[in-house]
């Protein structure tokens, strides 16, 4: 199947569903009402004792999902500074922590978000450090929020270095050159250089 067909399949839609369904702004599945994602990068293999610890914690928590996305190959041949995405050579895999739930309400949300946070916390001994890296496409507001004010650069660096490592300052410069008025912004957007912050 094509990559787009695999996206449709991964969304739990029947094989043969037209790929044009991906253009719909309405959810096509009932089970993804609410979700929380976090991420990490694995630099060294997890020892057997570590895997036993992780399995035990997964059984205790029950609900969160732990997925390992392998890295390497051609991706590792590209320099971490060649593109904004820096997580290349030296990464065994990306780790994804997630929970999906269909119950509405603050209590349900708090329960599932806390489970994902606990699992993420349990994995700290095994993943990247200084900084503990993260995958930008799983925007994780736990890493920091930018209020787009006078402290925009400092607030942005809290999550930006985890997402972009050494490329963060280069992205800040590009953002400052291309969008000096900070029109395109959100709670985790690339900030402006401190002298341009508004």
Q: Which residues are catalytic?
A: 138
| CA 77 centroid distance within chain | 22
Question: For residue 168, what is the enclosing H or E element?
Answer: helix 168-178
What the block records as the tokens of 104 is: 């509405």
Q: CA of 77: how far to CAs of 45, 82, 83, in Å?
A: 20, 10, 12
* Rounded-to-integer distance, Cα 38 and Cα 133, Å: 11
């Amino acid at each position: 199947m094509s990559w787009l067909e695999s996206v449709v399949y991964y969304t739990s839609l029947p094989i043969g569903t037209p790929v044009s369904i991906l253009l719909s702004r309405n959810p096509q599945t009932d089970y993804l009402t609410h979700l929380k994602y976090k991420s990490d990068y694995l630099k060294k293999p997890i020892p057997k004792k570590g895997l036993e610890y992780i399995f035990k914690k997964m059984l205790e928590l029950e609900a969160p999902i732990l997925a390992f996305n392998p890295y390497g190959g051609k991706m590792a041949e590209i320099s971490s500074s060649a593109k904004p995405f820096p997580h290349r050579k030296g990464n065994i895999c990306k780790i994804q922590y997630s929970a999906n739930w269909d119950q509405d309400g603050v209590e349900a949300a708090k329960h599932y978000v806390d489970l994902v946070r606990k699992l993420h916390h349990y994995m700290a001994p095994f993943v990247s450090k200084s900084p503990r890296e993260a995958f930008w496409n799983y925007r994780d507001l736990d890493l920091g929020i930018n209020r787009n004010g006078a402290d925009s650069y400092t607030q942005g660096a809290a999550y930006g270095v985890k997402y972009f490592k050494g490329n963060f300052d280069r992205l800040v410069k590009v953002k400052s050159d291309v969008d000096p008025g900070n029109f395109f912004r959100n709670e985790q957007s690339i900030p402006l250089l401190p002298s341009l912050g508004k």
